Amino acid sequence: MHLLFVADPLESFQTYKDTTFSMMREAQRRGYRLAACETRDLVWRSGGQVQATVREITLTGAEEEWFVESRTTEQPLHAFDAVIMRKDPPFDSEYFYATHLLEQAEREGARVFNKPAALRDHPEKLAIMEFAAYTSPTLVTRDPQAVRRFHAEHGDIILKPLDGMGGMGIFRVKADGLNLGAITETLNAGGATTLMVQRFVPQIAQGDKRVLVIGGQPVPYALARIPQGSEVRGNLAAGGKGVAQPLSARDLEIAQALGPTLAARGLLLVGLDVIGDCLTEVNVTSPTCFQEITQQTGFDVPAMFIDALETALQPRPH
């Protein structure tokens, strides 16, 4: 098979932990050909098809010069057996436009994972609204007074922007309400921007768990991202420590409840964020933690992903 990865620049990969790299490595191990491009390389012309300037690559196995590029060509996306969309957030206008280009490529015969329309339909923080039975009390608003009322009701809360990633822009306000007004003004730009507020879940001390769901099936281990020092955020990008652990009964319940539904919508890979017993996010753009879980447990997450990709690419029975 010939796979195209739509991702960030290859030169920016930190291969010791990068999930897209681990996917590539497993695919090459199976004899598949690899190509890569960025979203800025996608092009459509009237009367033509969605194409991209792609880099044909081979992984070297080395840590530094980890790939060699054999050639750069312009190819239609439907010429590949699968297109793996792995562009990191933020989900900005350019990401949005890329999903439309990828959806046009689908109409031309390309197989894209995760499905572009599903990427648009599942913004990572707002997607929990559909599954509110599994969340902590949550408010989505741009009204500062609604935030104050929510704080008065719950006492200890978390505020976050809807477009943040890696723990960016997350604030905790305790019962004393210190700086609640200033934080709200900062996040919602004086009422112009919608934000999310959630009741603080104290089990964050045991970690913000990343539960991976591949092809509708949960990976049997989660990566608990544990806050360090005085930090309230467990995100690895914010200095959290990643500890792999078997799924709890609640983790499994949430993953099994959401997994088949999300997979049926074309989401081959989903990263559920769970704190304590509460679902906090549904990550669909470029879920990570493959390498950390594999290294700590021996469970081969990249192999499970490529297995699921192969299954998804099999001809559908008529």
What is the full per-residue pLDDT of the chain (318 aa) written as tens digits?
Answer: 999 999 999 999 999 999 999 999 999 999 999 999 999 999 999 999 999 999 999 999 999 999 999 999 999 999 999 999 999 988 889 999 999 999 999 999 999 999 999 999 999 899 999 999 999 999 999 999 999 999 999 999 999 999 877 778 899 999 999 999 999 999 999 899 999 999 999 999 899 999 999 999 999 999 999 988 767 666 666 578 899 999 999 999 999 999 999 999 999 999 999 999 999 999 999 999 999 999 999 999 999 999 999 999 998 665
Candidate list 209, 225, 235, 292, residue with the active-site label:
225
Confidence at residue 163, expressed as pLDDT on a 0 to 100 scale = 84
Active site residue 114: no
Active site residue 33: no
Confidence at residue 90, expressed as pLDDT on a 0 to 100 scale = 83
Confidence at residue 237, expressed as pLDDT on a 0 to 100 scale = 66
Active site residue 86: no
Going by the DSSP 8-state scheme, the letter that residue 221 receives in this structure is E
Candidate list 18, 38, 210, 235, residue with the active-site label:
210
Active site residue 25: no
Confidence at residue 23, expressed as pLDDT on a 0 to 100 scale = 98
Active site residue 125: yes
Candidate list 160, 209, 235, 292, residue with the active-site label:
160
Active site residue 225: yes
168: exposed, middle or buried (C-beta count within 10 Å: 0-12, 13-18, 19+)? Answer: middle
Three-state DSSP at 171 gives: strand
233's CB contacts (< 8 A; 6+ apart) are 167, 170, 208, 227, 239, 240
Active site residue 11: no
Nearest to 190 by CA among 230, 126, 121, 143: 143
Candidate list 18, 106, 124, 273, residue with the active-site label:
273
Candidate list 25, 55, 199, 233, residue with the active-site label:
233
Q: Cα(160)–Cα(198) distance, rounded to whole angstroms?
A: 9
Confidence at residue 238, expressed as pLDDT on a 0 to 100 scale = 58
Candidate list 87, 125, 199, 209, residue with the active-site label:
125
pTM of the entire structure? 0.94
Active site residue 160: yes
